[in-house]
Structure 1
Amino acid sequence: MQGVLITGGDTAMPGTALLVAVAPVGKGRLVDASSVLPALAAVPPGALTGTATATVVELADPFDPQTVLTRIRSAAAAPGPLSIYLAGQLHLDRKQRLPHLALARSSPSTLRYTGLPWHWLATELTARRPGTTTVFVDLVADQDAWRWAADEGLGLGPAVRMYGRVAPPAPRRRRGADDTGPVYLRACAAIWRSGARPDPDALHARAVAECGSEGALLLDGGRTPAGPGAGAAPAAGAVGAEAVPDPHPAILAAARAGRHSEAAAAAAAWEQQELRSHGPGSAQAVHWLEVRADLARLAGEPALSCDLWMTVAENRLSRAQAEDDPDVEGAVDRAHHQWEQIRDPAAALALAPRLVALRRRVPGRQRGALAVLQRRLETLHTDRPA
């Protein structure tokens, strides 16, 4: 991993550009992501941000997700315009089927712990003032992630304009730096080095024309991908599209359309915004926990839904809401119901202690609920392999 800081001048509020190139080492590498950094670093800093002066930070082949998150968080805290240029690989983790950027130590079996979850990026950027954040991506996705991106979209929340392309992996016999490099971002760099300073829409159009788009998914200004090789028309109803003041209808529409990861990422981003604005345990933040819990139910993830509903109940109790408060009882009842749907004994056993503790505090209005829980728990212990 390498970090480089370049300043483009002295100003009270310069723009900030974050150049991130991430890919696994070894046979899991589908793209030579870091090969684009010299081309981008040769561009005048102000061109990268559209400002008179700029600060540029590079991050090449990092291996720790928390390190990347810290850099993103620091860049997102800057008051001026922020531009992020991201080259790398997109994969789905095996358990939750959520998109991650693969880092240097990532592998298919460790992606959940060694990759950067896409919703982390969305969460950090959602609190920024709309119109101040632009993200350019040049990603190669494995087959699963590429199909996911085509079906569900790749948004970063309502405040972010996102441009770029997501390409499927090249056939193994054709892989090499010339075939799999970040050709879209290289085209952007070449346009800037020619002296041109187009706005982001024009830059995207020129870069696509110069690098070719056949077989790729195109992103145009924050919308979901337009489809393989198609023009970058906006996708109707996308959570990641233009800002929607009342976000719930768009999020629910995405979930009902089967774009569960997109809906979950958007809800998590709104939750983080409320956490920053109103603090942990606030009614606003707890509301978005409830939204995420119900989205997990719709996505067929009862363990996650149970965990989130328990967190809702714990937050309400910590705010001194009564144990017979309908909202508290409802959260515990929903957690219990989702726990009953978990088919993985290990996952059910892992969540059981918290649920038992909550049921003892909040017995609810259905008589015998604690006894029902304990009976299933005994069955799980009895059936557990030695």
Structure 2
Amino acid sequence: MATGAIALAGYTALSEKARPAISTPMYSVLCSAVCTVELLILCLATGTPLFTFSGDTWLALLGLLIFPQLLGLFSLNFVLGRAPATSVSVLLLLEAPVAAFIAWLWLDQLPDGSTWPGLAVIMLGVAWVVVADARRADPMTRDAGGTRDPAPLAQHPPVTSHSAPGGDTHTRVLREAYAGRFTEAEATVRELESQAIRAHGVKSPQATHWTEVRAAVARIAGDHALAARLWLTAARFHSSLQHPNLHMTRVCLDHAFHEWGNVADADAVGALAPVLREMYAKYPFHRPEAIDALDRRLRRMALHPTSP
């Protein structure tokens, strides 16, 4: 059991790295093919029969193929392309409570009394981790109207500022923006961006983080075109690294697409569309519907769809 747990942990961790560059169907086929070859070798090495099973056993194997393998593994691979491996691993602990619930509905079987405390602890633990992750990933993004940004800001080590003693610098910047003090917020961000550039260089994650913060401030100010351009700048940075950060590329690109959807000026819409299309074309398995959505909006605004 311990070996299986270690293998699953390794699978989720490695899949998180590999999935952004490979489609879910292709990744599932590759994983299933590798597992099939490994299982065949193991059966041949141990002399395990491959076909001499009873009818009931074949039905059970078919059920295992359809539900845990095809449906379960495909769903797992799909999620690993869009969520951190740590969160997925924690959510997998819900297998036991869900299995108990299905057994109760389908087989009219209930766990014995000693099992209930363990199931309750699992569900409480999963809920705790999910809520904590959501709070860490989406800090101080509630605006005056009570809505939230569509995705979290990139998480980099915060750059401290002598002009902002005490408290969290990001909280201060966004509080100024939500209060309408955009000049002060922009000045703070540019000062912190300059510090990051001096300490780490222009093309560094620390400096790019403040580009992302500027994009958030532009969104609050209602300048969706500027916000889209800044998110595209950040997306290009993350994709141009020696080891591209595909997760952050997708996050920034989706931010840019969201802001572009709120741009009202036709000229700005038309100018940003080719850049968005170019970026999404580089990652055809991420939001494959995005390019069609771009063209539909351009047609609605009587603009020519962007070329490939």
Q: Which has the higher strand share?
A: 1
> Shared topology, TM-score over 0.5?
no
Q: Which has the higher helix share?
A: 2
Give the TM bin, normalised by the shorter chain. 0.3 to 0.5
From the CA coordinates, give the structure whose radius of gyration is larger.
Answer: 2
**TM-score of the superposed pair, with normalisation by structure 1:** 0.35
